[in-house]
Amino acid sequence: MTHDPAQPCLVYTTFPSLDDAETTGRALVEAGLVACANILPGMVSLYRWEGRTERGDEVVMLLKTTAGHAAAVVEAVRARHPYELPAIVVLPIAGGLPAYLDWIAGEVGGTGA
């Protein structure tokens, strides 16, 4: 991950329901930890868990934040998540529309922790 705390990044996670994702996304936006939460319903996940192949209907959530806030976002998602071991990964943003990337940084208070 970048050493620039203002560098925008995405936090990817999945939830078992639209309600769970929306509740968490709204809380993170209102807390100023993320500029935006995109929620994509209707995903089917196939995965191994405790030695068995599982299938689950899930919702994807992409959270737009900065590197300086990423750890706090991961912890906030984890604290609100119903799964024992949720998928939560931080993805760096290599580029994009500069004005949009500046908007992300501005909405989460710039540099973060």
The CATH number of the domain holding residue 69 is 3.30.70.120
| Any domain includes 18 | yes
pLDDT per residue as tens digits for the range 41-64: 999 999 999 999 999 999 999 999
| Any domain includes 2 | no
Q: What is the pLDDT of residue 28?
A: 97
| Any domain includes 24 | yes
Q: What is the pLDDT of residue 109?
A: 73
| Any domain includes 103 | yes
pLDDT per residue as tens digits for the range 58-86: 999 999 999 999 999 999 999 999 999 99
Q: Are 74 and 34 in contact (CB under 8 A)?
A: no
| Any domain includes 43 | yes
| Any domain includes 112 | no
C-alpha torsion sign, points 48, 60, 89, 22? negative
Up-side HSE of residue 28: CA atoms within 13 Å toward CB?
A: 33
What SS3 state is found at 78?
helix
- Give the domain extent around 19: 8-107
How many domains does the chain fold into? 1
| Any domain includes 13 | yes
| Any domain includes 3 | no
Q: Give this prediction's pTM.
A: 0.91
